[in-house]
Structure 1
Amino acid sequence: MYCLATSQVFIGCGPRNLTDFPAAIIVRKLKFHEQKLLKQVDFLNWEVTDHNLHELRVLRRYRLQRREDYTRYNQLSRAVRDLPERDPFRVRSSAALLDKLYALGLVPTRGSLELCDFVTASSFCRRRLPTVLLKLRMAQHLQAAVAFVEQGHVRVGPDVVTDPAFLVTRSMEDFVTWVDSSKIKRHVLEYNEERDDFDLDA
């Protein structure tokens, strides 16, 4: 039987009571591999949520590789939704907030602050680079889009992006394209019969 919170292991013999044994016999330190396995686990600040199924569905749907990304998106969307209506900061910066949310593509218009109530973690996931690639029909599946980004086939403007968690703004969405040296770009141009050897070799 393991007592993980104290990093100790109790050795018991069958169904007998552990109080029958002296402390020196029943307690031993964790072995090296046991410590390594438990190194990443924080038993004091363990998050228990009731939305695990919804969270797993979002993680699987948008191919999020790190749960921390989902948690961060959730915190941001909650911070936007939970601002009180009479908060002076909200009154002062409502226009700036709407402009920023619209620029990120999280709300469809700059109409009213009621749109902020509909900003969720999925709204942030829809602005990730692999999802935008899928929307622009540059990839057939989200898994392939994630692979293209990680392998360095995609650039946003002049910069090559290899992080799938990159959020694409509305203004940068038009500048998402293949890297010039990408084999995928060459294959697409050959398929469309638009390949120019001079441009590809330059």
Structure 2
Amino acid sequence: MVRKLKYHEQKLLRRLELVSWEAAAGSLAEVKALRRYRMGRREDYVHYKALARAVRTLVRRLRDLGPASAAFRSRCAVTLLEKLYGLGLVSGRQSLAVCESLSAAAFCRRRLPCLLVKLRMAQNLRHAVTFVEQGHVRVGPEVVTDPAVLIPRAVEDFITWVDASRLRQKVLDYNQERDDYDLAA
């Protein structure tokens, strides 16, 4: 029903890479998640799905261990829960039932732009991704320009603006906290 593209049209389309629907045809839920979390690379989401699947299979294997290895099972369960809680993927350390429902969305929520929105440093994910890519955000002493960085709970408190950032200056002006030394600079 659609006409065949001419040579020059095919050449232009080769340069312009539109959404690769063959690659994204995995599922509609995947495309929705890519849009919802403003993820630039599909490979990141595929990697998160694989990690979540690995955690769920590990939890099932721990659950299926016999009663003879109860001490080993409890030790491994505590270690796994501590690790997942430290990464911020689960909300509590009570039981492995929480880990059985772990999804790729939990990994997406621990990305830096999502945490910027959660900490009210950005209005929405689109602005947060832009701030990160432009180099306005630092985590600890390091400036982060990759929005795919996963932030653990321990580092979440160290997310701040870069000292030379115009956004930081605007926030300080708005809160009337800008120092006289900063005004001279």
Give the TM-score, by structure 1 length: 0.72
Residue 172 of structure 1 corresponds to which residue in structure 2?
155
Q: Aligned AA for 2:36?
A: R
The answer to whether the Cα contact below 8 Å between 2:24 and 2:30 also exists between their aligned partners in 1 is: no
Distance 1:172 1:201 in 2: 32
Residue 82 of structure 2 corresponds to which residue in structure 1?
99
5+ unaligned residues in a row in structure 2: which ranges?
A: 1-10, 16-22
Q: Name the CA shift for 1:175/1:47 in 2 (closer, same or farther; >3 Å).
A: closer
Post-superposition Cα deviations, 1:47-93, rounded to whole Å, max 9, x if no partner, equal: 963xx1111111111001000000000000001112222357x8252
RMSD: 2.4
Distance 1:47 1:199 in 2: 48
Residue 64 of structure 1 corresponds to which residue in structure 2?
39
Distance 2:120 2:25 in 1: 38
1:186 to 160, 169, 173: 169
SS at match of 1:177: strand
Residue 64 of structure 2 corresponds to which residue in structure 1?
86
Number of residue pairs aligned between Structure 1 and Structure 2? 159
SS at match of 1:172: helix
Residue 53 of structure 1 corresponds to which residue in structure 2?
28
Q: Aligned AA for 2:64?
A: R
Greater fraction helix: 2
CA positional deviation for 1:197: 3.4
Residue 134 in structure 1 maps to residue 117 in structure 2: yes
Post-superposition Cα deviations, 1:82-139, rounded to whole Å, max 9, x if no partner, equal: 2222357x82522211111001111001111111112100000000000000000000
Distance 2:53 2:131 in 1: 31
Residue 110 of structure 1 corresponds to which residue in structure 2?
93
What percentage of residue pairs aligned between the two structures are identical? 56
Give the TM-score, by structure 2 length: 0.78
Who wins on radius of gyration, i.e. which is larger?
Answer: 1
Higher relative contact order (CA 8 A, sep 6+): 2
Post-superposition Cα deviations, 1:20-73, rounded to whole Å, max 9, x if no partner, equal: xxxxxxxxxxxxx69x77xxxxxxxx7963xx1111111111001000000000
SS at match of 2:149: coil
5+ unaligned residues in a row in structure 1: which ranges?
A: 1-32, 38-45
Q: Name the CA shift for 1:58/1:163 in 2 (closer, same or farther; >3 Å).
A: same
Residue 181 of structure 2 corresponds to which residue in structure 1?
198
Distance 2:51 2:110 in 1: 14
